[in-house]
Amino acid sequence: MRRFLTFGLFAILCITGCNRATKENPMETSAPSKQQSEEMIATLRAAYAAFNRGDIDAAVASFDPDIEWSEPQEFPGGGTYQGREGAKRYLAQSRAAWAEVNSEPERFVIAGNRIVVLVHARVRPKGGGEFQEVDLADVYTFRDGKAVQMRAFADRQQALGWAGAEDGKH
């Protein structure tokens, strides 16, 4: 049972991803206006809603065609995925392991051209079983109003630090 729960945690992390924090230079771009930030958040809300209902095409439709989607090597499906098709492959496989999946964005933290999404994931394994829950963070980097990169973290504070964000609310 312990082995199943350990695998379950790893799989949960893969639903919305996790990544070790490594500081990188943000992509060069000016900070978005308040209106642009609100539009990007609305886009992300719609992407999470689409993922939750199993509509993977809609979940990635608003992302840049060349989005870079990174997952750690040590987790199932880990690696870097290129483009919308790569992101779709990853998201589809992450949903396939579970009977029910819900990745609910709780907060959005704006950090320049990045948005940190604090996510509460709730999953139920196939064949029954109890729901498992975990809090994660996804970091999206935007350019020209489109998400061009997604990195995810098991540790919310690491995500906020990597993005250069303060733990503020939006």
Question: Tell me, what's the pLDDT at 18?
Answer: 43
Tokens of 157: 């504070």
Question: What is the C-alpha R_g of the chain?
Answer: 15
Question: Tell me, what's the pLDDT at 32?
Answer: 76
Question: Tell me, what's the pLDDT at 170?
Answer: 46
- Give the class (CATH, top level) of 2-12+36-163: alpha beta
Question: Tell me, what's the pLDDT at 10?
Answer: 41
First CA to last CA distance, the chain: 39
Measured distance CA(138)–CA(161) in Å, rounded: 12
Question: Tell me, what's the pLDDT at 16?
Answer: 45
Measured distance CA(137)–CA(154) in Å, rounded: 7
Domain borders along the chain are: 2-12+36-163
Number of neighbours of residue 8 by Cβ within 10 angstroms: 18
Burial (CB < 10 A; 0-12, 13-18, 19+), residue 161, is: middle
Question: Tell me, what's the pLDDT at 103?
Answer: 94
Q: Give every residue of the chain whose pLDDT is below 50, as ranges.
A: 1-28, 168-170
> 3-class DSSP state for residue 80?
strand
Question: Tell me, what's the pLDDT at 83?
Answer: 97
Three-state SS letters, 44-103: HHHHHHHHHCCCHHHHHCCCCCCCEEEECCCCCCCEEEEHHHHHHHHHHHHHHCEEEEEE
Query: pLDDT tens digits, residue range 89-121?
Result: 989 988 887 889 899 999 999 999 999 999 999
Tokens of 73: 């090597």
